[in-house]
Amino acid sequence: MTMMERAECLALLADQQVGRVVHGGGPLPAVVPVTYALDGEDVLLRTLASSQLAAAVGRVVAFEVDEVEPALRAGWSVVLQGRLERVTGPEQAERAERLVEAWAPGPRDLLLRVRPTLVSGRRIRPATGARARTG
């Protein structure tokens, strides 16, 4: 297993569209799958104004994306930590609306961003000569 540099982590995030936001909005941590777009280092996402995620605005959250190849026993994981904020201002809102496509049906009118203060990532590669598992 190897640790990844910030630039590699962000490059991997830029190529994906689905991640998970982890927040402590209640007595237990909550994990919410979201579609997102990367804008510089910021993670942009859309949600309902009445959602559990909307209630976490202003709190520090974790955002995680990974990709695994079980047959090769390989993959990577990237985690960002930062404050969940509303996207404000007409120009930023217009940009976020263009960049983020919500997959869930219905309106997703609240635009949010995670501004990362910490970025970390790990990659595991198959050992040399490793074979795919057969079941």
Taking the model in full, what pTM does it have? 0.86
Q: In whole angstroms, how far apart are CA 66 and each of 17, 60, 86?
A: 11, 20, 25
Tokens describing residue 93:
């809102």
Domain locations in the chain as residue ranges: 2-124
Lowest mean pLDDT among 31-40, 84-93, 123-132: 123-132
Per-residue pLDDT band at 113 (split at 50, 70, 90): very high
Work out the average pLDDT over 33-54: 92
pLDDT at site 134? 46
pLDDT at site 128? 66
Task: List the end-to-end C-alpha distance of the chain, in Å, as a whole number.
Answer: 24
Indicate the pairing of strand 2-3 with strand 110-124. Answer: antiparallel
Percent of the chain whose predicted confidence (pLDDT) is above 70: 91
The CATH T-level fold of domain 2-124 is Pnp Oxidase; Chain A (2.30.110)
Q: State the Cα–Cα distance between residues 130 and 120, nearest whole angstrom.
A: 26
